[in-house]
Structure 1
Amino acid sequence: MSVEALSAFIAEYIAGRRQTKLEAFDKEAAKRSDTDSATLAAERRDIELRYEPKAWLTDAAKRAWQIFLPVTHAAKYSHGENKGSSYRINTNVTDGYFNTSAVDELTLDVVRNAAAFDLAILFLTNIEGTSLLSFLQRKDARPLSCFTNEPALLALWIEGFSRALNEDLALHKYAKQNYFPVGDGYHLLSPLFATSLVHAMHQKLIAFRFGDNVKAIWKARRERTWHPTPLTLFPDSAEIHFGGTKPQNISYLNSVRGGRSWLLSCQPPQWRRTEKPPTALRSIFTSGGQFDRRANSTVQLLVSLLARTGNYTNVRIREARDEYIDALIDLLFVVASELQRDTWQNWTILCPRLASHQQLWLDPWRTKTDEAFRLERDKDDWQAGVAEDFALWLNTRLRKGLKDIGKVEEREWQTREHLRSNLREMEKIIQEALK
């Protein structure tokens, strides 16, 4: 049954590519009003003939030598012009290390000429537990036999496609090379990028960060409500990009990832000293302070978005901007909650330079022993001061990269409903705790 299903997939794949080409041709032909209709019809018919399964497979077999598959470790990640060999690891060993061998189901990669990567999908797509690649590795022509009655042509297809499976081992001047001492001599090692392992990790991180359930988890966190699924975070992670604007020139999977790979933090554990209240605090928004530092990456993303587009009225740009600002507000309340500790009761008494409205916000337990402080806090006037401080801080940060940010934006940050709703929700929780 898998043979028939695979043959059906091949036919469907070729038909899909033909339809894409015809749609592009029809769109372009509509602009060529001065061209004879017979000429256009002939050109369209030529495309249809080239994408007949028999003709397309014959052409594909001639092009297959331009790619090499399957690989788990690719050479071009060290340098885009590296023409050294890529490699596929075939072992599956569980030795306790996080490496390619530890991944149960590897997504295989394709390298060399990006113009022929259309063959990668044809070879690697899994249909009912198998793929055309599996049949080619066994020299089994059954999935292709329904497209021709000519044994010689079928053999030509298998021979042509098989050229994509073989590559002579070679090194290149742009390859990374390490001299490893062995006795009086050395081994010359050429480390290769573990593209299949990186892709497996990429898929995991995408699921953890942007999966269907993640928005609901973040919403529950903001609203301080229970959610059955834990929130998984990867602090201090970084991104590395390969291939610039043409990630397909590195490898097929690199183009699937948009050239992006994540680097997880490998910092050693740090011993935390006994935490003490910040008695020298002048403002929670102080430049270089706890909140300011932790907000830096999100602010940079926001500046990059606004600087790149320059159009603040576009709906999608505003939505993306609002998501970043809401993330900053959420972070602000995380930092604030770390200061609002019952064990630090009255700590703001030792902070004479801290603005009074921030004292009222950040030291709610002081109301237990300071009646004047409690009466002032119950007025809720301090909340407007907090909103003003946030708006001023955000505008100051944005002006470093955007010169046209002004009073209009400052008023918008200041009156932002997400900020005010967070203040209200936090106050409800604090008042319950103070009872």
Structure 2
Amino acid sequence: MAKEEKEVTSLHEYIIENAAKKRKTPAKWFDAMVMHMNECHLASHVGKFTNPDIKTTVCSHSKKVAGYVTTGGSTCSLDILTPAQYLGSASLLLSPVTPDKNVLEAVITRDKELEKELELLSLSIEKLQKKVQEMLEDSQKEPEATDTHLRQVYFPIAEGEYHLLSVMPSSCLALEMYQRIRAINGHKIDCYNKKSENYGKPCEEVTGLTMIGFGGTKPQNISALNSRCGGKAYLLSSLPPALREVKVRVPRSDFFKESIWYKSQSSALYRLHAYMKQERNTMEIRKAIHDLVDEMIDAVLLVAYQIRAGAAGWSEEETYTALPRSQKIWLDDACMEERLEPSWTGEIAAAFARWVVFSYEKLLGEEAVSLGDAEWRNFKDQMEIVLKDEVRYES
């Protein structure tokens, strides 16, 4: 399988390196690559990814439409189809000029950085612009017919009327996803590598992947982007989530001490600590703290709703006589009528605020910042607003 192309720091270095491999001057190599660009065909959807015998391609120019995911509304490079002997021309078009633009995109947008790179080697941009324009005009032509190897879908448009659609994969999206996943997983490896400057930094990982290959030992016969990715692409997992039953402990004397484990909110509490240590008191920091408290409120309410889902009247049993009346009203659906009066919300909100302060100090220990009455009252008020909103909603 073809190896992925080595990254070159700049376009002019890429031209010099490839010209040297062919034992040509940069000018002669560049002119040859531009001359053969009439053998390149731009595409967003390539039939060869379904079957190597399919020659049908489509270049989608659809714009971003609100509420819909379209190829044209996505950020990815167009694919290029070309015979293997002219792959150098396609590779030149896909070579980066800036971090977010390749040669093809730079020509289309008239990026001045491309002119600067070519001027370093005394290369003219006019012929390149003309060839790209010809490619764009040619790619806008729609296929006159579909291919028998492609799947056909009858799509209804009115009573007794339909369109016959051909299903084609978007190669540019598939290969863009492959490159992004590699970047995400590569960053994760760096974060675990003690020799890397990213060691210890936060990272993400895309799991449950299946790798699929196109073109076998000759990925260049499928498309230029496929060749650059070594003929590899990823399929994301489409399996349903594996859910496990979470048992909730019904409180006997205090919901916050018995049903909510403080370490379950360690992530939010550590982030809260990071903001509490700040000497500044900006609007941005206050909003971040507000969002973290909202996150903990959501976690508390989730457990409360799970307890409510049990049989109504459970709190009337002798086992739960020590449970405060406000918590019985909040957690037991047998008390739904009493719950419509907001008098109980203040006591629950105060208990929540005490739980946040306790959990923070328990988790951080000596490192904890002292939380005073002002912080406690903010936590209480924030929870009480949520509880009163719930009362209004149920009313």
Please report the TM-score for the alignment, with normalisation by the length of structure 2: 0.47
Structure with the larger RCO, 1 or 2 (CA within 8 Å, 6+ apart): 2
Please, what TM-score do these two structures have when normalized by structure 1? 0.43
